[in-house]
Amino acid sequence: MRLHPMLTACVLAGITLLLYAFHLSAAPLTTEESIFNDRGQSLRAGTPPLFFHVRNEHWRQPIGVYTNAAVRAIGGDDMSGRIVSVVAGAINVALVFLIAHALTGRALVGIFAAVILMFTPAHWSIAQLGTDAILPVPLVLLWLWGSLRFFTFDRGLPVAAAALGLSVYSHPAGPLTAVFLWLLTLIVARRRNPQLLLVSTLVFVLAWMPAAAWFYRHPADYADTFGRWFVFAAHLRNPIDGLLAFFNLNTLGTRAALYWDFWDPSWLFFRDGTTPAPLLMIAAPFIVIGLYRCVKLVSRESAAIVIGALAIVPLAGATFLILHYMTDAAGVLPILAVLAGLGLDQLIALVDRRPLEDGVNVSAVDGWNSDDLMPRS
């Protein structure tokens, strides 16, 4: 009997969809959710814009609004944004399975990681929020999965570049995160296929062209969109000033403090009064063990891309000057779930005295044997 990883990923996504959709309409809509609903409804009239003005200097990215409108068109009503987020959350779970499987070649590790993400409180909560908070996550995971396949099979990088480029339009943190992650890709893969790297970089750059064309036609929109999220308008005109401002000690100190607080274990794993912790407390030791396993047993390139992504994804959120900004850095949750899955499998292997041999068997790329579900002797 042969099982297909894609089939398993779809089953896990279906289970997540059912869990997350249960009681989806129980909580009243927040102000932010209402904003996305209003902008989605406004698409029925006039020329659709690329960026959506809310009030004063506040704007919204297009993917959240357009997906809201698409679901609304088929009867989603005021729950449209939440339905979009639930679907994105289910896709995240499926992609985490595929990423963990790509790292280790073992289906059971992927199932561990997927289930951990499925029941992670912050992921569950954000996936039921009808805003753009979770929308960058599946795109970042597609990039990560495509990069891992590139390191193993020397293909898939253009798709990863396209997904990362598309994430630019998913959330205000998207542009800065996408640039940093693509620089990471180029650094880690610098000795790989140069032609494919060039093509992939061109794909990534082309993904920015709609934004460039929009700002060319509507230059006044830049200051309160990319001019607040990515590069200030004044710094765009004078990059040297922008570089100096970026390395300003006060700015760096503030952002570094926020970034450090984001990784505070007392916030990540322990309940604060009636507020649940973002992560499962039981996952903490598995994450630490998984990090060790990633460094020691996973290939150097794969480990660098996973750990690098974990460090980079929260960086952009620190620029928004909000304490514990999980809704601006939700992409860390699935990466932590992957590490937790690796750690749990490592612990089981120690108990079973099973040797660990991480890495995908190239001949098994289109399927894996059901024996993968059993401990190796």
Minimum mean pLDDT range among 120-129, 139-148, 328-337, 356-365: 356-365
Q: Are 173 and 194 in contact (CB under 8 A)?
A: no
Question: pLDDT per residue over 1-17, tens digit each?
Answer: 345 889 999 999 999 99
Task: Locate all alpha helices (DSSP H) within the chain, ordered by sequence.
Answer: 5-21, 31-42, 62-73, 80-104, 107-118, 121-126, 136-153, 157-166, 174-188, 194-206, 209-217, 226-229, 233-237, 239-246, 249-262, 265-268, 283-296, 300-317, 332-352
Query: What is the average pLDDT score of the chain?
Result: 88
Q: Supply the pLDDT for residue 357.
A: 60
Query: For 369, which DSSP code?
Result: E
Which whole number is the average pLDDT over 362-368? 40
CA–CA separation, 311 vs 102, rounded Å?
A: 20
Kindly tell me the sign of the dihedral angle through the C-alpha atoms of 315, 319, 323, 328: negative
CA–CA separation, 186 vs 176, rounded Å?
A: 16
Question: pLDDT per residue over 126-147, tens digit each?
Answer: 999 999 999 999 999 999 999 9
Query: For 62, which DSSP code?
Result: H
Question: pLDDT per residue over 336-349, tens digit each?
Answer: 999 999 999 988 88
Q: Is 227 helix (H, G, I), strand (E, B) or coil?
A: helix
Question: pLDDT per residue over 273-313, tens digit each?
Answer: 778 899 999 999 999 999 999 988 888 999 999 999 999 99
Query: How far, CA to CA in Å, does 200 sit from each of 102, 143, 147, 155, 310?
Result: 20, 11, 11, 10, 22
CA 9 to chain centre: 17
Q: What is the pTM of this model?
A: 0.91
Sorting pLDDT into bands at 50, 70 and 90, what band is 359?
Answer: low
Query: How far, CA to CA in Å, does 205 sit from each of 136, 164, 175?
Result: 18, 10, 12
